[in-house]
Structure 1
Amino acid sequence: MDVLPLVALIAASAVVAGAARRTAVPAPLLLVGAGLIASYVPGVPDYHLDPHIVLPLILPPLLHTAALESSYLDLRANIRPVALLSVGYVLFATLAVGWLAYLLIPDLPLTAALVLGAVIAPPDAVAATAIARRVGLPSRITTILQGESLVNDATAITAFKVALAAAVGEGASWAGGVQEFLVAAVGGVGVGLLLMVPIHWLRTHLKEAMLQNTLSLLIPFVAYAAAEQVHASGVLAVVVVALYLGHRSWQVDFETRLQEAAVWKVVAFILESAVFALIGLQLPVVLKGLGEYSVGQAAWYAAGVFVFVVVARFAWSYPATYLPRAVSARIRRREGREGREGNDRDVGSVGDTDGTDGTDWRGPLIVSWAGMRGVVSLAIAFSIPLAMEDGGPFPARNLVLFLTFTTVIGTLVVQGLSLPWLIRVLKLPGRDAQAQTLAEAQAQNAASQAAEARLEELTRDERNRLPQPLQDRLSTVLERRRNSVWERLGQSNPVTGESADDTYRRLAREAIAAEREVFVRMRDERRIDDEMMRTLLRKLDLEEAAAYREVED
């Protein structure tokens, strides 16, 4: 790909994604729609989705940033539903959708139908996290969906390799398929376990934030490549390393954390925007390759496969939710206890069950309907070879590409657009903002008390004596930090509607802006140089960052 089309793709997708933030429509849907429209605009270059680029260069950083933001403790608490979806469901969907497609489409070999099933089996990590952030899913459901999306790509890619080997005539048995899956899974986890400790050690011993963040950008590619080199799952290696680093991110210095959060937000935004736009841009490529199938035939098959995909997820989710409880008294006791405790537990605590005991029929319904497909399915589909081992063409390859494309678009549009409405209709219990603020205030109060005790202990030592103004400033900062969260629970200013905490931050920002203007004016007047101005502005930036809590969009 030339540089100019690539720059145009990134710029245009960023504009559309930015515009989507001002609408109620999730960004992935607008990006796919914009890509579809742009694909028919004269002069727009052909963008070909190269799986040799998407899988090793785009998938690892997206999985890495998703895993960094995931909770290892929450995933461990929900390991059973996550495993049932990320492994069990993907294998079930591969077989069920493949078999039904074989029955629906005349002259489609069963092996090629199973390839199709493996391609469209996994809900996409990008789609799942992008939609979940916008619709405000309850915390436990979000944890399960995110955990599923981190692992299911590894399952699908392995199943695809086994089905593809059988389809092209290389030969594959059930025993061989199971062995390949186990080798890929165990090997991927093993590579991740081997890499995570030395990588974390290196992160904590590098003294410059710039070097630490350069390492951070390399980590997902190193983990993926190392695992693939030994024929293990690069996806699992990336996820294991990122979960470990995210769980121990508090052990790196604050400057690294600030830079790393900003860097990965930008990377994720650019990649997510570009890959969804690429989905829409693939339509002309897919339609040109339909060959012997008419548009009417292909549309009929596409509708059938889409229905199979949706029904298969329901057919798996409900039994996977209720059967383990039906056959295991231990599971019933544990999840019943968690459900009762969930009603009294502070919102946001580890293992939060959203006030349910896990038997509410609405949870599996949302999990079933939230199975959007995305760019990974398309990337896998485009990696299907053109020819068989005997030199003949791969059967119905172009139709498989078309069905993959329509399934991705169908799930994003039908399920993605209706998911917010479904959540509102079902009235699922979300996070209680008041209770969450109370939990935050209690945690901040305990931390501030520990900090005050430590300061008092240190200042009794003559070596740590400070002038009284500086010592008062330390105490004031701690008191302000403790009180700020409590003030969010209090009454608002009757004139402005702001809490005292909001007013404080607004005034602090105005004061800092005044200082910033002075520094810039002094630089312009040549009273200070640019290097000194940047140093002074960085100090103000850190103070402003401390004054304002981060607000997630």
Structure 2
Amino acid sequence: MLAVVGLFAVVVLVREVSRRIGFQEPIALLMVGVGFSFVPGIPSFAVEPDLVLMVVLPVLLYGAAFTTSVPSFRENLRSIGTLSIGLTLFTTAAVGFAAHAVIPDLSLAAGMVLGAVVAPQDAVAAVAIGRQAGMPRRAITMLEGESLFNDAAALTAFQIAIAAVVGGSVSPWYASGRFLLATAGGLVVGAVVAFVLAWIRRRVDHPVADAALSLLAPFLAYLPAEAVHGSGIVSVVVTGLYLGHRQPSVMSARSRLVAQATWEVIEYLLAGAVFVLIGLQASDLITGLRGESPGLVAIACAVVVAVVIATRLLWVFPDIYVPRWLNRGRQQPVPWQEVAIVGWAGLRGVVSVGAAFAIPRGAGGGEFPHRDLILFVTAVVIVSTLLLQGLTLPAVVRRWGPHSIHPDDRAAEHADQEVAAHNASADAGLARLDELVAEQHPPEAVVDRLRERADRRRMLASRASGADGEADAEVYRRLRRDVLRAELEHLVRMRDDGELDDEVFTKEQRELDHEDSMLDRD
């Protein structure tokens, strides 16, 4: 317990220091973990694959899916699909053949195990660094969307490759069928769980109970899907996407505020702890290489890192431009610099760690071939992509991204959208107020106060009961909630029609939620 408390304390300290000095937090956490791994007396944190794959990964993916912009996701669906599935399988195969070629006695199936382990891109670090550097919004959407589904593709390929090593052979038909069934199972289970949870959450009006349901959601989606041999990861992502998109209508304002604060803390600690844990494995991984040739280790690491980076760069350009060429310009053009940024942002992380440590120690009655070497190469790939690509990504965005949005420009654009959103939602609220006045004829003082508040659209500075008398205060709260609901519905329509960025929508929704929650204060 003391070690876990210390781990989270390190996460908070390192993240805060990194934020103050302007250094990338994921890289700082990784470097601190590597340093601690060689300090005598520091407790060893053995990575339990079940903990990573069944707890950490579903929680992080659900949180990411819940906050993903569904309209932007839908707009880039084809590219996201080919990146998350096509690129993942392409990388798996390329690394598998390369490892089989350079590592003596490593079967092709075992090479594919390594390929599946290092194939999935992790958007946590890439997006965090990219946002700070002013990465184009479409590139961020593609990275986030890719990371939601590439884990499922990689883990399914990993399970098939493990079966090939242990069982001797796996037919292409079996592999394809297994992949399709796992994906379909995850989609179906995720959709069912999402609809059920949405139905329940519409009827839960206690913010803490709703937050508890939110914390249970990733596991309620993951476990049933795995029980029917579907993809638990796909199920979690589908559930998170649906509930996140529908949260304005299935959650109360107070519930959204409580759940949002809860998830921010969990993701802050959990995502940070993952990078520290990756670094803490360094000493044990080096010890496990005893008996391996240093030259072989160096060659294997260099080749796999090069293949991982090269396959992504080779994939993204034809993936983006060939469909546009076939459609003869009917699709919106994409600057080559933006594609290059997406290609360079292929950082690896938590999924690779969990999959690597899930490799069984025995295969066919003996040791899994070069298991310790595979673990070490995986760690080198993670560290190399975080350091090489992570540290240079801001410079790449500045150099290759003339069409990217500088943080100051992004802030100005968002400010313009906020003004438009304020005005449009206030107009919608005032229109709804006119309807309520015609229907209910509330006191004139209440109506005047409501019109003033709807027009200004800012947080209440005083109690809602400031209207004359308790009866008028209750009328004020009821009518104001109706007006706030109309304003939120108009913001949702603006978001769904592409008139409002998801970041601006979230900010505007939070402002409305804060006002709604203050209406209940005594």
- Structure 1 length-normalised TM: 0.80
**Are 2:355 and 1:376 aligned?**
no
Aligned to 1:474: 450
2:367 corresponds to: 393
TM alignment of 1:476-491, pairs within 5 A = 476-481=452-457
Structure 1 residues 543 and 66, CA gap change in structure 2 (3 angstroms): closer
Instruction: Give the CA deviation at 1:223.
Output: 0.4
SS where residue 25 of structure 1 aligns? coil
Tell me how far 1:73 sits from its aligned partner. 1.4
Verify: 1:310 aligned to 2:284, yes or no.
no
CA offset at residue 299 of structure 1? 2.5
Q: Which residue of structure 2 aligns with residue 112 of structure 1?
A: 110
Q: 5+ unaligned residues in a row in structure 2: which ranges?
A: 464-509, 517-522
- Matching of residues 115-514 of structure 1 within 5 Å: 115-251=113-249, 252-329=251-328, 332-333=329-330, 335=331, 339=332, 357-358=333-334, 360-389=335-364, 391-426=365-400, 427-430=402-405, 432-461=410-439, 463-466=440-443, 468=445, 470-481=446-457
Distance 2:436 2:184 in 1: 49
> Deviation digits for residues 374-424 of structure 1, max 9, x if unmatched?
0210110111111112x1111111100000000000000110010001101
Contact 1:119 1:156 in 2 (8 A): yes
CA contact (8 A) 2:254 2:513 kept: no
Q: How many angstroms apart in 2 are the aligned matches of 1:109 and 1:291?
A: 21
Instruction: State how far apart, in whole Å, the 1-side matches of 2:133 and 2:165 are.
Output: 40
1:388 is matched by which residue type in structure 2? A
Structure 1 393/175 Cα, relative in aligned 2: closer, same or farther at 3 Å? Answer: same
Question: What is the Cα deviation at residue 453 of structure 1?
Answer: 2.3
Judge conservation of contact 1:62–1:126 (CA < 8 Å) in 2. Answer: no
Separation in 1, partners of 2:133, 2:512: 33
Q: 2: CA distance between counterparts of 1:420 and 1:230?
A: 43
Question: What letter is aligned with 2:442?
Answer: R
In the alignment, is the contact (CA less than 8 A) between 1:93 and 1:313 conserved in 2? yes
| Structure 2: distance between partners of 1:543 and 1:363 | 35
Counterpart-to-counterpart distance in 1, 2:217 and 2:153? 22
- The letter of the residue matching 1:406 is V
SS in structure 1 of the partner of residue 230 of structure 2:
coil
* Contact 2:130–2:393 (CA under 8 A) maintained in structure 1: no
SS of the counterpart of 1:248?
Answer: helix
Aligned-pair Cα RMSD in Å: 2.2
Task: Classify 1:128/1:190 alpha carbon distance in 2 versus 1 (closer, same or farther; 3 Å).
Answer: farther
Shift in Å at residue 134 of structure 1?
Answer: 2.9
Q: CA deviation at 1:464?
A: 4.5
Give the deviation of 1:129 after TM superposition. 3.5
Name the amino acid aligned to 2:260: A
Query: CA 1:109/1:544 → structure 2, altered by over 3 Å: closer, same or farther?
Result: closer
Indicate the larger mover: 153-162 or 288-297: 288-297
Find out whether 1:84 has 2:82 as its counterpart. yes
Counterparts of 2:85 and 2:380, CA distance in 1 = 24
Matches of 1:86 and 1:192, distance apart in 2: 18
The Cα shift of 1:34 comes to 0.4
Distance 1:155 1:543, change over 3 A: closer
Rounded to whole Å, the distance in 2 between the matches of 1:403 and 1:9 is: 25
8 Å CA contact retained: 2:347, 2:386 = yes
Indicate if the aligned counterparts of 1:26 and 1:134 stay in contact, CA closer than 8 A.
Answer: no
Aligned partners of 1:265, 1:25: CA distance in 2, in Å?
20
The counterpart of 2:9, out of the listed 3, 8, 11, is 11
Shift of 1:301: 2.0
Task: Please say if residues 102 and 299 of structure 2, whose CA atoms lie closer than 8 Å, have aligned partners that are also in contact.
Answer: no
In structure 1, distance between residues paired with 2:185 and 2:21:
43
The size of the alignment, in residue pairs, is: 465
- Contact kept, 8 Å, 1:128 with 1:149, in 2: the verdict is no
What is the Cα deviation at residue 433 of structure 1?
3.6
Distance 2:322 2:435 in 1: 56
TM-score with structure 2 length normalisation?
0.85
Shift of 1:460: 3.9
| 8 Å contact kept, 1:128–1:146 | no
Match of 1:495 in 2: none
Distance 1:227 1:26 in 2: 36
> d(CA) in 2 for partners of 1:315 and 1:454?
54
Paired AA for residue 404 in structure 1: T
- For 1:277-317, what per-residue CA distance to the aligned partner results, in whole angstroms no more than 9, with x for missing partners? 00100111211111321444313321221111111111111
Contact 2:52 2:354 (C-alpha < 8 Å) held by counterparts:
yes
Distance 1:473 1:134 in 2: 41
**Could you say if the C-alpha distance between residues 144 and 308 of structure 1 is closer, same or farther in structure 2, counting changes exceeding 3 Å?**
same
How far apart, CA to CA, are the structure 2 residues paired with 1:133 and 1:20?
15
* Residue 170 of structure 1: how far off its partner (Å): 4.9
Kept in 1: contact 2:136–2:338 (CA 8 A): no
**In the superposition, relative to structure 1, how do residues 380 and 545 fare at CA in structure 2: closer, same or farther (>3 Å)?**
same
Alignment-derived partner of residue 518 in structure 1: none
Q: Kindly indicate whether the alpha-carbon contact (under 8 Å) linking 1:291 and 1:398 is maintained by their aligned counterparts in 2.
A: no
- Residue 109 of structure 1 and its aligned partner are, at CA, apart by 1.7
The runs of 5 or more residues in structure 1 that have no matched partner are 340-356, 485-504, 513-540, 548-553
Secondary structure at 1:44 match in 2: coil
Aligned to 1:529: none
